[in-house]
Amino acid sequence: GENVEQHPSTLSVQEGDSAVIKCTYSDSASNYFPWYKQELGKGPQLIIDIRSNVGEKKDQRIAVTLNKTAKHFSLHITETQPEDSAVYFCAASRTDSWGKFQFGAGTQVVVTP
């Protein structure tokens, strides 16, 4: 089955700097890669996603890149702000595998003023 590895487990950045989180996946048939942000005591919220036919997607300060050959994808947050502090999860799924998202272990991001 699919296995998703996520690095780093914790990330501390100065406000205004960029943050990058990387995930690798094992199943070459995976074709949908969402990123979720989870604040303390709350459920994860989808912040951006990418499909396998696209190499990069941006939404304001957030971007995701996908390298299908190397089977890894990354989340980039630019101009970080204190409200970006949270746990971020990557995930992978495939359209023929109903409900079978495989999640990374999460990255705790701390943005210090």
Residues that bind another protein (CB under 8 A): 4, 6, 9, 32, 34, 36, 41-46, 49, 89, 93-95, 97-106
The nearer residue to another protein, 45 or 81, going by C-beta atoms, is 45
d(CA 67, CA 86) in angstroms, rounded, equals 25
Least distance from C-beta 110 to another protein, angstroms?
Answer: 15
Least distance from C-beta 6 to another protein, angstroms?
Answer: 8
Amino acid residing at 39: E
d(CA 52, CA 97) in angstroms, rounded, equals 15
Counting Cα atoms < 13 Å in the Cβ hemisphere of 17 gives 13
Least distance from C-beta 94 to another protein, angstroms?
Answer: 7
Contact between 35 and 49 (Cβ < 8 Å): yes
The nearer residue to another protein, 99 or 113, going by C-beta atoms, is 99
The nearer residue to another protein, 39 or 79, going by C-beta atoms, is 39
Greatest alpha-carbon span in the chain: 44
Least distance from C-beta 56 to another protein, angstroms?
Answer: 18
The nearer residue to another protein, 23 or 77, going by C-beta atoms, is 23
| Six token digits for residue 22 | 């990387």
